[in-house]
Structures are given as structure tokens and as C-alpha cells.
Amino acid sequence: MSTGSLEFVRATPRPGGAIVSAVGYRTRGQRPALHRGLPSPYLTVIFSLDGPVVSGTTPEQATGPDAIRTDIVVGGLHQDPAFIRQPEHESGIQLAVHPLAARALLGVPAAELAGCVVTDGTAVLGRQAARVRDQVEELSDWRDRFRLLSAYLGATDPFAGVRPEVAEAWTWLARHRGTGSLPGLAAHVSLSERRLTTLFRAETGLSPGQAARLMRFQYAKEAVVRAVAGHAPPDLSRVAADHGYCDHSHLVRAFHRYTGLSPTAWLAEECRNIQAGGHHNGEESTP
């Protein structure tokens, strides 16, 4: 019996730019379900093209009368999963945005969005965003859709207004894939740990340690996803060792922290999306 169709189309963002990944999605004939939007070291922007995104911070909110409904989603850096209702039919474009580009692209620093799992995008971007969404919806070719959104969100200097120490701190953490120490980071940018933490949190809404843990989890999760996409059982002990976790149990605790599930339970929930290519969202999937 047919279980519907899933289509995922990736754009190729400019290396080192504000958009880390861009994925177009279209699903048809799916069994309605509740999807977990996981924390990551990137902001999330979604332009829904097939009805509003219905979500909440808990399963009860997402499926109840207080669910958040919006055609454009802006999500800040957060440390708990969002819960998103997946209807039978849906389509749209999901962007992963570098948090230090929030000032240039969204008009506010990422710190103002921190902890906001789902925000009405027009409240952040203004009514022009709704007009752009309508224009994107009218286009039928994914390349044209990506091109229009790129032009709308383009910025001459996407990291304008960010203190150089914070920008360099983020680059250092990313280079170390979230495994560097705070003393090492502070020494690298020639600031005290307290001063660095204050500046970093004021820009991103997270401490350097929180950002590092999100980065480390992102890379570990991508390694698990790659294994499943290649039809191989993930070696969690190897993933843990390769991505800075003390042992298998440490990685399992990270999955519980950021997904609310064990790695095995999360994979069982997301296996079909992974096999269809729906988890290319992050630096490891960016050319």
C-alpha cells in the first residue's frame, strides 16, 4: 500500500555566507504525525507554501488549541526540541541561518530570538516577508524559488555589527567542532572567560559552552544520519569517540538532552525522512 511521497531539494549556499543550508520540501499523502524540530547551532527560517506551520514547545501545545500557526517561521537558538504537526500534505523551504548573520538578515541579534523555538516570521521580518512568500508560492521551479529567497535575504556584509572577538570565537568553536575548552577559546581571542561569555551571550543568547555543545551534537547527529542514510547501523561508540564525547553513554545523554529520546528511538521516529534525504541541514551537508 502506498505511503505517499517525500521530496527534498537542496540548494548550494555560498560558502562562508549567512545561509548554511537551504532545503525545499514537498510531501504528499503522508500519515499525519508529530515531528521534532531539534536544537542546532543555527537559526531556522521556514517559508511554508502549503498552509501554516503548526507547532508548539510541547506535544500538547502543538496538538491543542494553543498551537502556534504561522506561514513564516523564525526560530532562535534553543536547547529543547520543538514539536511540529506534519499534515498529509505540506511544502516549503527551510533555511539554516548562521546566528551571527541575524542582525543583517533578520534585523535583530540572535540573542533577541534565543529560546524562541517558533516565532511568527512577519513579526521579525515585516510584511515584506509575507509578500515574498506569496511570490515564492507562485513559482513552480525550485531553483527560481531559492533564487528569489536568496535575493530577498541577501546582505552585502551578513556579519556586519558583530564584534570581531565574538565572530572569531564562533569560528574557533566551529573549527574545533564544539570540542575546544573555554580557557583555550578565551586565550585565543585575548579576553577573560567572563568578558567573552558576556559578549558572546549578548550576541547569540547562548554561552560559549552551550554553543559548543550544540555544535558537537550537530556533528554527532549528522554522523548517525549518514550511517542510516547509507543503510548501515550507526556505531554509537565510534561516533562518540570521533566527536568528543567521553563514551557511548555520554552521547546517549546528549541525545536525550536535545531530542527527548535515545538515539535508537529518535532514529526509529525519523528513519523515513532520513532515507528520503530530509536531514541535510547543517555544515556537514554544505558543499
Q: What is the pLDDT of residue 10?
A: 92
In 159-170, which positions are buried (b, 16+ CB within 10 angstroms) versus exposed (e)? Answer: beebeebbeebb
pTM of the model: 0.91
Query: Quick check: 2 pLDDT over 50?
Result: no
| Mean pLDDT for the chain overall | 91
Residues of the chain with pLDDT > 70, as a percent, come to 94
Q: Where are the beta strands (DSSP E) in 111-166?
A: 119-120
Residue 71 has a pLDDT of 97
CA 44 vs. chain centroid, Å, equals 5
Question: Which pLDDT belongs to residue 183?
Answer: 97
* Separation of alpha carbons 81 and 259, rounded Å: 6
CA dihedral 271, 241, 97, 75 (to 10 degrees): 60
- Distance (Å, whole) CA 263 – CA 251: 9
Buried b (16+ CB within 10 A) or exposed e, 212-228: bbbbbbbbbbbbbbbbb
Domain coordinates in residue numbering, the chain: 5-159
pLDDT-derived band at 54 (thresholds 50, 70, 90) equals very high
The mean per-residue pLDDT over the stretch 44-58 comes to 95
Closest CA to 152 of 114, 126, 117: 126
Task: Write down the pLDDT at residue 275.
Answer: 61
Among 234, 109, 251, residue whose Cα is nearest residue 166: 109
Q: Higher-confidence residue: 270 or 99?
A: 99
Judge whether 48 and 24 are in contact, CB under 8 Å. Answer: no
Confidence band (pLDDT; 50, 70, 90) for 116? Answer: confident
Residue 90 · residue 25 · CB < 8 Å? yes
How much helix, strand and coil, in percent to the nearest 5, is found in the chain? 45, 20, 35
State what percent of residues in the chain have pLDDT above 90: 78
The grid coordinates listed for 26 are 514537498
Q: What is the pLDDT of residues 214-259, one digit of tens each?
A: 999 999 999 999 988 888 889 999 999 999 999 999 999 999 999 9
pLDDT in tens, 137-192: 999 999 999 999 999 998 779 999 999 999 999 999 999 999 989 999 999 999 99
- Shortest CA distance to 199 belongs to which of 233, 165, 150? 165
Supply the CATH classification number for the domain 5-159: 2.60.120.10
What is the reported pLDDT for 45?
96
Banded model confidence at residue 284, pLDDT cuts 50, 70, 90: very low
